[in-house]
Amino acid sequence: MEQTDTSRGEVLAASDEQPLAPLLAEPDQWALFLDIDGTLVDLAETPDSVVVEPGLTDTLQALSHRLGGALALVTGRALPYADQLLQPLALPIAGLHGAERRRADGSVDAVTPEPSFVTLKRSLERVTSDWDGVIIEDKGGAVAAHFRQAPERQASLEAVMAAALSEAGPDYSLQRGKMVLEIRPARANKGSAVEAFLSEAPFSGRKPIAIGDDLTDEAMFRFANEAGGLSIHIGEAADTAAQFTLPSPDALRQALRRIATE
Ligand SMILES: O=P(O)(O)OC[C@H]1O[C@H](O[C@H]2O[C@H](CO)[C@@H](O)[C@H](O)[C@H]2O)[C@H](O)[C@@H](O)[C@@H]1O
Ligand SMILES: [Mg+2]
């Protein structure tokens, strides 16, 4: 059952690295779980126009090394897209909000869409084809309907996605996000993905630090809190289960860079 014990957490100044201090003090005791959009990279007008800051991949590589490999990405993106975005890295990663996963040993649990789901995606593209500004993002085993460039279409998209969800059936759920509605596999979420990583080397025996910016990240915040770890929300103060809030992806990137190079 969903928990509702959200608050605003402790809102930190951009330069306050207090919740990340354990990564320096006890790097063999902690594992780091990082969301991508709105956390490692700034939000952009379209899914394909995000920019990876120069040096970010070097920072992530160095941090992963410092943590003995216990660093994973946990994203709503599909694995191939995230890999292409952060190339040449091939970090442990959970994609599609936890439904697909690549472990530290390189083995992959992928999601192969049923033919009926492929038909559903094509139908969504057709229905919205002349809705200026609406983007249907085909993510293989999930599909996102973006209205950042067409906020006036939100209500219509809500109706279309509700109908599509009921057609997709109980194996799928609706994921709300920032100016986006998604239909994704229901069998996992970001919390269960973090839990799965923590049952495997090199994550096992460590405490999680979960960092994210959106509704989908609340499941991993709750899991991290219950597991005795830390949780950090990125962005403007919001209702969240996270213990801390940092104001922006840039503040997080600077903090990660300082820790990686210390
Ligand atoms: O879990 P994340 O790594 O944060 O991924 C969540 C979704 O991010 C992307 O959409 C969001 O970012 C876009 C680019 O900045 C933005 O245009 C959009 O409005 C946001 O919702 C991505 O396109 C989705 O597939 C991810 O699920
Ligand atoms: Mg995000």
The residue type found at 161 is M
User: In 3D, which of 175, 177, 200, 203 has the Cα closest to residue 189?
Assistant: 175
Q: Which ligand is nearest to the CA of 43?
A: 1
pLDDT (tens digit, 9 = 90+) per residue, 68-90?
999 999 999 999 999 999 999 99
pLDDT (tens digit, 9 = 90+) per residue, 171-187?
999 999 999 999 999 99
Same domain, 89 and 120: no
- Inside any domain, residue 21: yes
Q: Which of 5, 16, 28, 35 is catalytic?
A: 35
Same domain, 106 and 28: yes
Query: What's the whole-number average pLDDT of the chain?
Result: 95
**Rounded to whole angstroms, how far apart are CA atoms 92 and 166?**
33
**For residues 53 and 253, is the Cβ–Cβ distance under 8 A?**
yes
The DSSP bridge partners found for residue 143 are 138, 183
Count of domains forming the chain: 2
> Can you give the CATH number for the domain in which 77 is found?
3.40.50.1000
CB atoms within 10 A of CB 203: 25
Name the CA dihedral angle for 60, 252, 73, 54, rounded to a multiple of 10 degrees: -50
- Inside any domain, residue 2: no
The answer to whether the CB of 40 is under 6 A from ligand 1 is no
DSSP-derived letter for residue 92 is -
pLDDT (tens digit, 9 = 90+) per residue, 5-63?
567 788 888 888 889 999 999 999 999 999 999 999 999 999 999 999 999 999 999 99
pLDDT (tens digit, 9 = 90+) per residue, 198-257?
999 999 999 999 999 999 999 999 999 999 999 999 999 889 999 999 999 999 999 999
Same domain, 136 and 210: no
- Inside any domain, residue 202: yes
Same domain, 15 and 77: yes
Looking from the CA of residue 44, the nearest atom of ligand 1 is 15
Best residue among 137, 179, 180 to mutate for probing ligand 1, ranked by most atoms within 8 Å of CB: 180
Best residue among 36, 37, 174 to mutate for probing ligand 1, ranked by most atoms within 8 Å of CB: 37
Domain that holds residue 202: 10-110+188-261
ipTM value: 0.99
